[in-house]
Structure 1
């Protein structure tokens, strides 16, 4: 079988549901926390933090993989505005649970998981196809 015909590598991780639901989309990965107030453009669904590795990149409709939130309690309000504007991520996967990010996940109403049994920053790359079944706490990664 040629390399072009080879089946894509699939990885399955188990974690904990934060907000239920299911979504499948392209991954957008950042090893940096994201600020809500002043760090994202809620009208476009993009990161606008000046020195952030995703500055200028849209997270709208993607599975956003990141450590978590930073900044003030305004964080959740900006993610809520993303939902209202139709620019929220399709799903979120994060590694550091805080009340700030939990509330942000709830108000954005997107499938969200945390506490996965593998290192998401080593296993998921931007562009991978990621299915988040938050109800089951399962993340399926199809490598691209």
Structure 2
């Protein structure tokens, strides 16, 4: 399907670039922060943290939408390992900017944004199709996927 024939996004959110670039894919959304050290299996890109709403779910090849990082400074190392194992997210959108989350995005080298005009955790649902253009500071969302 040619780009001109594609349906316009249902929602557009603006924010600030953390890591530049463009990517798109299916969203995986959580309202809970993610612990890198001890909270993620880097060999599967899977959340393993006890009592986390995404426990047992992989963020590999998804757009990870989450409030931010928690825990130790090992967060970036664990997320870098997901890149090395081919289990990293395609892009990240987070609302709470910490050095852990920012450094994690930098070592992943995936388009990442923060400081939004609308909370992506509330605007995006798991399964929505998301296109991040971090260089333009724009996130496009197609509710329920992209037809």
TM-score tier, shorter chain, comes to over 0.9
| TM-score of the aligned structures, taking structure 1 as reference length | 0.93
1:100 aligns to what?
A: 100
1:135 aligns to what?
A: 135
CA contact under 8 A between 1:124 and 1:141: conserved in structure 2?
A: yes
1:115 aligns to what?
A: 115
Please state how far the C-alpha of 1:10 moved relative to its aligned partner.
1.2
Q: Which runs of 5+ in 1 are unaligned?
A: 1-6
Please state how far the C-alpha of 1:54 moved relative to its aligned partner.
0.1
Query: 1: CA distance between counterparts of 2:61 and 2:116?
Result: 21
| TM-score of the aligned structures, taking structure 2 as reference length | 0.91
Residue 78 of structure 2 aligns to a residue in which SS? helix
For the aligned residue pairs, the C-alpha RMSD in angstroms reads 1.1
Query: 2: CA distance between counterparts of 1:56 and 1:107?
Result: 24
Please state how far the C-alpha of 1:8 moved relative to its aligned partner.
7.5
Q: Which runs of 5+ in 2 are unaligned?
A: 1-6
1:4 aligns to what?
A: none
Query: 2: CA distance between counterparts of 1:135 and 1:120?
Result: 17
CA contact under 8 A between 1:11 and 1:140: conserved in structure 2?
A: yes
1:45 aligns to what?
A: 45
CA contact under 8 A between 2:67 and 2:121: conserved in structure 1?
A: no
Per-residue Cα deviation, 1:49-76 (whole angstroms, up to 9, x for no partner):
0110000001000000000000000011
1:12 aligns to what?
A: 12
CA contact under 8 A between 1:8 and 1:143: conserved in structure 2?
A: no
Q: 1:19 to 1:9 in 2, by over 3 A?
A: closer
Residue 83 of structure 1 aligns to a residue in which SS? helix
2:35 aligns to what?
A: 35
Runs of 4+ in structure 1 deviating by more than 4 angstroms, as ranges, are none
In the comparison of the two structures, how many residue pairs are matched?
Answer: 138
